[in-house]
């Protein structure tokens, strides 16, 4: 715990925001920083949860603990609807209270001597939970990196995917696709190389597909679209972003039967034990909501919300592009990743805040490889996105 550097990014953004508001108390602040959702949960889904709640208040409808692994119907529905055609069984799906929690819980599978690799930049949860588990050395301030962790650089030069020929073998490889913050959805070819790499090294891939529903081209939405990936990969995902469940809390993890330790024992068996010990099952209300999300009416409603956010992303990406900036993401993910070559991301963050009253996220907060970039979230209200676009045009034109 003492080695942990984080808890730094968001508090620091918050501190600068307060300082700015003290200086300019009348400023109308727009927050395009944090990746929280803003659009209401579609009515059909909210109604299913409300009805479940009301039934809990009746003798007939009352239910207590459910299965730790999740309700059977939901596990099967996730297997069929999300992984249709990929031959994932309901018994391989573990329903959770969100991806963040399972990123930490999968860490319990591996001992503290385990070596790990992660994309740089990426979502900080993989790194922080690894540091908490004691897998890192000390933090090197100058490099912005912990010792004993493999940072796999993801920049425009390598199509935002690690150059595996220069990555040393590790026990675990965390991959996020579409990646937060770069917005890059790994291609079939990139993922095939990754699966081959993990198979030949005896590594386990922990694949985070929390933004898969935002993919608009034919990039894989699951690692299991890659042949033999089941032998090497755990997939973690979430209802948070595509269904607006950031507050409701629901996600899942797939641990295929084919995934074995070197002695032949099932990883699934250990994960089941961890879930039964460290988690007691997701809320029955959230799980009812999850089932409603996967119904045909629910799926249709959710696709509308995803489309809305992607229109926001297009507006933001176009704004920066028309001003001559190099822009990534925004087509397969709700995040737009903007390059400010030669500048430090905190300086760009400060300038945008001071001159336009807009909060973004400095790219370096996602790892040293994010230096020179900022992340802009499209999960906001349309009027805020349009107003932000107009303020940015005035500043940067
Ligand atoms: N994984 C990624 C890549 C994320 O960006 C986030 C949240 O922003 C999470 C996981 C956490 O998701 P959840 O709300 O399901 O815990």
Q: Measured from the CA of 35, which atom of ligand 1 is nearest?
A: 8
Q: What are phi and psi of 124, to 5 degrees?
A: -70, -15
Which strand ranges, in their side-by-side order, compose the sheet holding 373-377? 326-329, 335-339, 373-377, 361-362
Measured distance CA(70)–CA(95) in Å, rounded: 5
Q: Is the CB of 240 under 6 A from ligand 1?
A: yes
Tokens 């918050």 belong to residue: 14
- d(CA 157, ligand 1 centre) in Å: 26
Please answer whether residues 66 and 74 qualify as being in contact, where contact means their C-beta atoms are separated by less than 8 angstroms.
no
Q: What is the pLDDT of residue 73?
A: 98
- For residue 206 the two structure tokens come to 């922990």
- Both structure tokens of 301: 């409603």
Report whether 210 contacts 244 (CB < 8 A): no
State if residue 100 touches ligand 1 by the CB under 6 angstroms criterion. Answer: yes
Q: Are 69 and 272 in contact (CB under 8 A)?
A: yes
Nearest Cα neighbor of 101 from 254, 221, 237 is 237
Does residue 209 have its Cβ closer than 6 Å to ligand 1? no
pLDDT at 6: 60
Task: Determine the Cα–Cα distance for residues 212 and 221; give it in Å rounded to an integer.
Answer: 5
Nearest to 270 by CA among 234, 236, 222, 238: 234
Q: How far is CA 39 from the centre of its chain?
A: 18
Closest by CA to 388, choosing from 32, 146, 20, is 32
Q: Would the pTM of this model clear 0.95, i.e. be above it?
A: yes
* Residue 49 CA to ligand 1 centre (angstroms): 22
Is residue 305 within 8 Å of 39, Cβ to Cβ? yes
Q: What pLDDT was estimated at residue 7?
A: 64
Which residue among 100, 209, 247, 334 has the greatest number of ligand 1 atoms within 8 angstroms of its CB, and so is best to mutate? 100
Which atom of ligand 1 approaches the CA of 238 most closely?
Answer: 15
Instruction: Tell which atom from ligand 1 comes closest to the C-alpha of 96.
Output: 15
ipTM value greater than 0.85: yes
Ligand 1 in reach of 123 Cβ (< 6 A): yes
Helix runs in 136-282, H state only: 188-201, 240-243, 267-278
Q: Which long-range contacts (CB under 8 A, 24 or more apart) does 127-132 make?
A: 127/6, 127/367, 128/4, 128/6, 129/103, 129/104, 131/3, 131/4, 132/1, 132/4, 132/104, 132/107
Contacts of 56 (CB under 8 A, 6+ apart): 62, 63, 284, 285
Give residue 322 CA to ligand 1 midpoint distance, Å.
30
122 lines ligand 1 (CB under 6 A): no
Q: What is the pLDDT of residue 11?
A: 85
Q: How far apart are CA 104 and CA 133, in angstroms?
A: 9
If the chain, 397 residues long, is cut into consecutive pieces of 10 residues, what is the mean pLDDT of each piece? 81 92 96 94 98 98 97 98 97 98 96 93 95 94 95 96 96 98 98 98 98 98 98 98 97 98 96 97 98 98 98 98 96 98 96 97 96 97 97 92
Of ligand 1's atoms, which has the minimum distance to the CA of residue 176?
3
């Amino acid at each position: 715990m003492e080695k942990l550097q984080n808890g730094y990014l968001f508090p620091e953004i918050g501190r600068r925001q307060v300082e700015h508001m003290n200086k300019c108390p009348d400023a109308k602040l727009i927050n395009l920083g944090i990746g929280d959702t803003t659009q209401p949960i579609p009515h059909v889904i909210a109604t299913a949860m409300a009805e479940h709640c009301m039934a809990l208040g009746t003798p007939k409808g009352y239910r207590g603990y459910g299965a730790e692994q999740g309700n059977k119907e939901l596990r099967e529905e996730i297997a069929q609807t999300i992984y249709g055609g990929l031959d994932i069984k309901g018994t391989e799906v573990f329903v959770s209270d969100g991806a963040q929690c399972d990123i930490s819980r999968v860490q319990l599978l591996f001992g503290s001597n385990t070596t790990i690799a992660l994309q740089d930049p990426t979502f900080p949860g993989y790194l922080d939970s690894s540091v908490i588990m004691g897998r890192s050395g000390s933090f090197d301030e100058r490099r912005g990196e912990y010792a004993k962790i493999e940072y796999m650089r993801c920049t425009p030069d390598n199509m935002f995917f690690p150059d595996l020929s220069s990555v040393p073998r590790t026990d675990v490889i965390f991959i996020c696709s579409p990646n937060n913050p770069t917005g890059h959805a790994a291609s079939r070819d990139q993922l095939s190389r990754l699966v081959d790499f993990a198979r030949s090294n005896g590594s386990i891939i922990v694949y985070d597909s929390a933004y898969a529903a935002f993919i608009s081209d034919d990039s894989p939405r699951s690692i299991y679209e890659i042949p033999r990936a089941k032998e090497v990969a755990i997939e973690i995902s979430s209802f948070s972003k595509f269904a607006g469940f950031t507050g409701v809390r629901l996600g899942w993890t797939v641990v295929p039967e084919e995934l074995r330790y070197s002695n032949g024992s099932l990883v699934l068996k250990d994960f089941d034990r961890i879930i039964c010990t460290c988690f007691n099952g997701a809320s029955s209300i959230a799980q009812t909501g999850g089932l409603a999300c996967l119904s045909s009416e629910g799926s249709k409603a959710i696709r509308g919300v995803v489309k809305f956010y992607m229109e926001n992303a297009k507006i933001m990406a176009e704004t920066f592009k028309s001003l001559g900036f190099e822009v990534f993401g925004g087509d397969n993910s709700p995040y737009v990743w903007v390059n400010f070559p030669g500048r430090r991301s905190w300086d760009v963050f400060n300038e945008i805040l001071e001159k336009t009253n807009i909060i973004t996220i400095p790219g370096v907060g996602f790892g040293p490889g994010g230096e020179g970039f900022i992340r802009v979230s499209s999960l906001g209200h349309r009027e805020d996105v349009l107003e932000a676009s107009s303020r940015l045009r005035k500043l940067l034109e």
